[in-house]
C-alpha cells in the first residue's frame, strides 16, 4: 500500500525538531490536569440531574444542547490561537472550566445544569484548540502522528483515575464535594501555564490574499477546506463516544452491573497502549492503516454496549472503545494537521473541536430520546451506524486526496 503520509515532510519543520522537549512535557501535564477535572465530573453529572428531579431524556438534552451552544465560540478559538496567543486562549478555557465546576454547587434543579455544561464546553474547546496547536507547532512534520497520539494519552491517564475519584467522592461526601474538589483543582492548575513558552509565529506557506474585513468574512476564514473530511468523520465519531461516556453510569445502574468504574480504567489502559504503538506506525505506514480499523472497532463497541448486561461484556466494550475512539480521534486530528496549511492549524483544530461539539450533542440527545422511546439497546445500535458513517467519510476523504497527503 502506498504511504498516505508521504508529503508531511514538505511542511516547514520547527527549529527544535525534538518531540519531547520542555514545552511538550508541560503541555502534557497541563492537558492531563484539565481532563482529570473533566472526567471527575462527567460521570457524576447524569446522576446529579436524576438526583435533583430529572430523567434520562433530560440528561441527553442538557448535555447535548451544551455542545452547539458552546460551539458558537469555536470559530473564535482558532482565530485567537492563530492571531492572538495560544497561552492566553488556554487560560480563558481554564477559567471557564473552573466556573463550570463551582456553579454546580448552587444549582438545585435540572435545567440550570445546562449553564455548567456550556461553560465546560467553552473551557475544553478553547484550551483544547490551543494545546493541540502548540503540540503541532512543537513537533517536526514527519513525527506529527507520534506527537499527537502520545500527547493524547494525557486524556487517558486522566480517564483512568478521574471517574473513580468522582465516584468515590460522591459515595463518601456527596455531590457538592465532587464539584468543589474539581473546581479547586482546575483553578490551581492555571499556574502550570507560566513556564510554557509560546511558539514562534509561522511564515505562511503561500502569500495570502488581502483579508476581507467584516464579521462574516472572518467567520468564513475559519473554515479550512482541507480539513473537511476529518472534521466530518469527527462529527459522527464524537456522537458515539460522548454518548457512551455520558450514559454508561446510568446504563450500569439500571442493569445492576457492579464495579462499572472499571470501564473507564480499562478503556484508559487500552488507549494508552494503543496510542503509544499507533502514532509511530501511522508516521511510517500511513494514517489510514490505523484509522480504518479504529472506526470499525468503534462500531463493534456500540454493538457490545447494546448487549452489555454483564461485567464481562462491559469490559470487552471498553477495550473496543479504547482502540476505536482512543486511536481514531487523534489520528483524525493528525490528518487535519497534515492536510491543512501550517498557518491554518489553529483553525483546523477548532473545526474538529466544533465538529466534536455538534456531534456529541447529536449523540447524547439521540441516546436520551431513544432510551425513553425504546431502550438503550436500540439507542446504541443506532450509534454503531454513526461509527460506520465516520468510516465511510474517511474513505471518501482519502480517495479524494488520491490516497496521499499531497497538496490539493
Question: CA 57, CA 252: separation in Å to the nearest integer?
Answer: 17
Enter the C-alpha cell of residue 34. 484539565
Question: What's the whole-number mean pLDDT along residues 229-255?
Answer: 86
Sequence-distant (≥ 6) Cβ neighbours of residue 199 within 8 angstroms: 14, 23, 86, 133, 134, 137, 138
Phi, psi of 259 (to 5 degrees): 55, 35
Q: Average pLDDT of the chain?
A: 80
> Does residue 2 carry a pLDDT above 80?
no
Question: CA 242, CA 362: separation in Å to the nearest integer?
Answer: 10
Confidence band for 146, pLDDT divided at 50, 70 and 90: confident
- Which one, of 252, 250, 246, lies nearest residue 361 by Cα? 246
The pLDDT assigned to 8 comes to 41
Question: CA 180, CA 118: separation in Å to the nearest integer?
Answer: 18
Write down the CATH superfamily of domain 20-200+222-400.
MFS general substrate transporter like domains (1.20.1250.20)
Sequence-distant (≥ 6) Cβ neighbours of residue 238 within 8 angstroms: 329, 355, 356, 357, 359, 360, 363
pLDDT tens digit string along 382-404?
Answer: 999 999 999 999 888 888 775 44
The pLDDT assigned to 12 comes to 41
Provide the Cα torsion 197, 194, 22, 74; round to 10°: -70
Confidence band for 201, pLDDT divided at 50, 70 and 90: low
Q: HSE-up of 289 (CA within 13 Å, CB side)?
A: 17
pLDDT tens digit string along 65-100?
Answer: 777 776 676 667 777 777 777 788 888 889 999 999
> Does residue 338 carry a pLDDT above 50?
yes
The pLDDT assigned to 185 comes to 92
DSSP element (H, E) containing 220: helix 215-221
Question: CA 348, CA 340: separation in Å to the nearest integer?
Answer: 7
pTM, to two decimals: 0.65
State the DSSP code for 191: G
Question: CA 224, CA 346: separation in Å to the nearest integer?
Answer: 10
Confidence band for 222, pLDDT divided at 50, 70 and 90: low
Question: CA 287, CA 151: separation in Å to the nearest integer?
Answer: 17
State the DSSP code for 53: T
- Residue keyed to cell 439500571: 254
Question: What's the whole-number mean pLDDT along residues 319-347?
Answer: 82
Q: Are 293 and 287 a contacting pair, CB within 8 Å?
A: no
Please say whether the dihedral angle defined by the alpha carbons of residues 261, 267, 268 and 270, taken in this order, is positive or negative: positive
Q: Which residue ranges make up each domain of the chain?
A: 20-200+222-400
The pLDDT assigned to 402 comes to 57
B/e letters for 293-311, b = 16+ CB within 10 Å, e = fewer, are bbbbbbbbbbbbbbebeee
Sequence-distant (≥ 6) Cβ neighbours of residue 72 within 8 angstroms: none
List the Cα angle 401/130/229 in 5-degree steps.
Answer: 20
Confidence band for 187, pLDDT divided at 50, 70 and 90: very high
Enter the C-alpha cell of residue 228. 473537511
Burial class for 29, CB neighbours closer than 10 Å (0-12, 13-18, 19+): middle
The pLDDT assigned to 11 comes to 41
Inter-helix orientation angle 228-255/345-373, to 10° = 40
The pLDDT assigned to 184 comes to 93
198's torsion region: left (phi>0), alpha (psi -120 to 50) or beta?
Answer: beta
> Does residue 17 carry a pLDDT above 70?
no
Amino acid at each position: 500500500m502506498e504511504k498516505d503520509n508521504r508529503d508531511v515532510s514538505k511542511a516547514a519543520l520547527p527549529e527544535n525538531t525534538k518531540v519531547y522537549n520542555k514545552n511538550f512535557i508541560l503541555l502534557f501535564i497541563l492537558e492531563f490536569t484539565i481532563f482529570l477535572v473533566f472526567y471527575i465530573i462527567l460521570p457524576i453529572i447524569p446522576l446529579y440531574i436524576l438526583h435533583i428531579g430529572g430523567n434520562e431524556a433530560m440528561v441527553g438534552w442538557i448535555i447535548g444542547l451544551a455542545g452547539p451552544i458552546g460551539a458558537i465560540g469555536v470559530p473564535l478559538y482558532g482565530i485567537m490561537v492563530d492571531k492572538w496567543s495560544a497561552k492566553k486562549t488556554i487560560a480563558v478555557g481554564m477559567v471557564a472550566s473552573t466556573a463550570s465546576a463551582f456553579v454546580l454547587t448552587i444549582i438545585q434543579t435540572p435545567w440550570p445544569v445546562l449553564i455548567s455544561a456550556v461553560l465546560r464546553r467553552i473551557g475544553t474547546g478553547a484550551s483544547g484548540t490551543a494545546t493541540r496547536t502548540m503540540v503541532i507547532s512543537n513537533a517536526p512534520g514527519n513525527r506529527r502522528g507520534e506527537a499527537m497520539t502520545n500527547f493524547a494519552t494525557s486524556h487517558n491517564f486522566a480517564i483512568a483515575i478521574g471517574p473513580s475519584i468522582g465516584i468515590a467522592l460522591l459515595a463518601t461526601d456527596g455531590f457538592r464535594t465532587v464539584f468543589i474538589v474539581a473546581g479547586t483543582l482546575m483553578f490551581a492548575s492555571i499556574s502550570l501555564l507560566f513556564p510554557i513558552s509560546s511558539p514562534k509565529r509561522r511564515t505562511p506557506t503561500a502569500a495570502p490574499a488581502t483579508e476581507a474585513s467584516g464579521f462574516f468574512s472572518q467567520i468564513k476564514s475559519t473554515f479550512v477546506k482541507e480539513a473537511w473530511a476529518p472534521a466530518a468523520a469527527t462529527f459522527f465519531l464524537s456522537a458515539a463516544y460522548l454518548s457512551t461516556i455520558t450514559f454508561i453510569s446510568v446504563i450500569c445502574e439500571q442493569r445492576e452491573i457492579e464495579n462499572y468504574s472499571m470501564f473507564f480504567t480499562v478503556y484508559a489502559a487500552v488507549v494508552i497502549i494503543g496510542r503509544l504503538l499507533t502514532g509511530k506506525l501511522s508516521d511510517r505506514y500511513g494514517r489510514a492503516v490505523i484509522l480504518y480499523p479504529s472506526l470499525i472497532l468503534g462500531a463493534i463497541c456500540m454493538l457490545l454496549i447494546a448487549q452489555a448486561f454483564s461485567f464481562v461484556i462491559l469490559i470487552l466494550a471498553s477495550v473496543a472503545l479504547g482502540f476505536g475512539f482512543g486511536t481514531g480521534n487523534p489520528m483524525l486530528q493528525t490528518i487535519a494537521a497534515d492536510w491543512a496549511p501550517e498557518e491554518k492549524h489553529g483553525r483546523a483544530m477548532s473545526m474538529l473541536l466544533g465538529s466534536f461539539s455538534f456531534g456529541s450533542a447529536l449523540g447524547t440527545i439521540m441516546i436520551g430520546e431513544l432510551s425513553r422511546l425504546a431502550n438503550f439497546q436500540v439507542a446504541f445500535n443506532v450509534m454503531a451506524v454513526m461509527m460506520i458513517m465516520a468510516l465511510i467519510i474517511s474513505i471518501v476523504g482519502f480517495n479524494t486526496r488520491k490516497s496521499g497527503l499531497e497538496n490539493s
